[in-house]
Chain A
C-alpha cells in the first residue's frame, strides 16, 4: 500500500531495521512507526515478564540552556523545575494561560544550567513554540533537538540485567526518574531510568547514527532472557494497565491538571509567576468546592471492549466518558480509563456500565492503576 502513503511521513533512524523485522507500521503523529512486530499481546506479556525493546525516536526533545534556564522553565511549566537536582527527572505539564493542558512532559536536568524537555510527538512543535515564546526576556536558549536524538527504551524485569551487560554505568545507583550520561555498547548515551510501561526499565537517548548499533547490541544481549521488539500497540495497553494518562485521551487543552486529577504537579509555592497560575488557582478551588469528574478504572464483566468516547452510564443516564480502552492482556478482560461523575467514582460503585454501540455492558469501577509491579 506504499502508493497511498503520504510522502511527508517522517522515518526514524531504525526504520530499515523495523521493516527487516517485519513490523506492521503505522502513521503516528506524522511518523511512520512500528505498531507491532508480531502479536501485540505477546509483546505486552514479554514486557511484563521479561523485556521489550521500543523505538521511541518520535518523542520531541527540546534542550533549554543558559544562566536562567531554571527560571525560564519555572515560568513556562507548572512544576518546580528549579528544585530538580542535576541527574534527576520530573514529570510535569505545560499549560495555557487559561490552565488548559498543552502537554505532559518529562524534564531531565542534565547539568546546572542545562535541561532536556521531552514532549509527546504530537505536541512537540506546540511545546517548542510555547517555550520559545515564553523564553523572551530570560537569559536562556531553547533549542529544537528533535533531530539530535534517537530514543530506544528497554523495559521489563530483565532490562537491568540486559543493560548491565552493555555498560559500566552505575545502574544500581540510578534511581527511578533519574538519568546519567554513559556509554552503552560503545555508544554515548543519556541513560534514564524512566518509561511508560509500569515496569522497571530504561530510556536511552543517543545520536541517530548510533541507533542501529545500540538496538542490535540490546537485541543480542537480551536474546537469552526473552527480550522482544515491541510496537506502539503494546505500549498503549501497557500504559493503560499502569493507569498512565495519554495526551489527547486523558489530557487535553479542555482540562486543567486539577480536572485530570493531577493537581499535585502544579506547584503554587514556587518562586515567581508562571503561565496559567491565576487560572489554575481558580481551578484548584473550583475542584475543591465542586468535585469534577474523576478518572477511574473500569473492568469489564463481559468481553466487549470500550473505546475512547463511549458513554459511561448508570441508571439509564450518562455519567461519564471513556478516554482509553483495550483488552488487558494481564487481566484477561477489557479495561478502560474513564472520567465519571464524582458520585459514581468510588471503587465498587454498583450499576455502572459502558454503552458499547447501543448495548449497556456492565463494568466494575476500580481505582487506578489496574496493574502495579511487585518491587
Chain B
C-alpha cells in the first residue's frame, strides 16, 4: 500500500491534508489502520462546531472484532463530518484516502511531530 505524498500523518494512523485557503484540513485514517481494523461497521464522528484537540479522542470506529478511538491529529473546530461514512462505514476500508475521509477541521494549532509519507511508511515497516 502506498501513503499519498501530499498528506501528513500522525503516529496514531490519521492522515491530514494540507489546509485550504480558509485554514480547513481534511482528516481520515490510513489504509494501514483500516486494514488493521478489519471491516469498519460503525463510525461515530465529531459534530460540526465541536472543538477537537490534537492527540485527544474525538470519536470511535467500530469493526467486527474491536472498537478503536478516533484521535484528532490537530487542534481546531470541526466544520464537516462525512455523512457518507456514517451511512456506509465500509468506505473507510474501500477508500480510506478518498471517499472514506472522516472530518474537516479548521486548524488552530498543529503538533510539530506529524510525519511525512516516507516517515509514516517507515514507522509501519518495522
Contacts and interface: CB of A to CB of B under 8 A. Distances in A.
Interface of A: 1, 3, 24, 35-36, 39-41, 233, 236-237, 303-305, 307, 326-327, 334, 357
15 contacts: A3-B126, A24-B35, A35-B38, A35-B65, A40-B38, A40-B39, A41-B64, A233-B64, A303-B42, A304-B42, A304-B44, A305-B41, A326-B64, A327-B42, A334-B41
B95 interface: no
B81 to A, nearest CB: 15
Nearest to B89: A303
A24 B38 CA distance: 10
Given A39-B93, A303-B41, A237 B126 contact: no
Nearest to A327: B41
Contacts of B47: none
B67 interface: yes
Contacts of B93: 39
A233 B64 CA distance: 8
Q: Chain A interface mostly helix, strand, loop or mixed?
A: mixed
Choose among B35, B41, B42, B44 the residue with the greatest number of A CB atoms under 10 Å from its CB.
Answer: B41
Contacts of B44: 304
B42 A326 contact: no
Contacts of A236: 65
Nearest to A333: B41
Interface string B26-42: 00000000011011011
B64 A237 contact: yes
A371 to B, nearest CB: 16
A163 B35 CA distance: 32
Interface of B: 35-36, 38-39, 41-42, 44, 62, 64-65, 67, 93, 126
B39 A305 contact: no
Nearest to A41: B39
Nearest to A300: B42
A135 B96 CA distance: 57
Given A39-B39, A304-B44, 18 more contacts: A36-B38, A39-B38, A39-B93, A40-B38, A40-B64, A40-B65, A41-B64, A233-B64, A303-B41, A303-B42, A304-B62, A305-B62, A326-B65, A327-B39, A327-B42, A334-B41, A334-B42, A357-B67
B35 A305 contact: no
A327 B126 contact: no
A1 B126 contact: yes
A36 B93 CA distance: 14
The 10 tightest CB contacts between A and B, nearest first, are: A327-B41, A303-B42, A41-B39, A305-B62, A40-B64, A39-B39, A40-B38, A40-B39, A326-B64, A233-B65
Contacts of A237: 64
A305 B38 contact: no
B103 to A, nearest CB: 18
A327 B41 CA distance: 7
A214 B38 CA distance: 28
B72 to A, nearest CB: 19
B71 to A, nearest CB: 16
A305 B62 CA distance: 7
Contacts of B65: 35, 40, 233, 236, 326
A344 B38 CA distance: 34
A24 B36 CA distance: 8
Given A303-B41, A303-B42, A305-B41, A327 B35 contact: no
A357 B42 CA distance: 14
Nearest to A302: B42
Contacts of B67: 305, 307, 357
A215 to B, nearest CB: 23
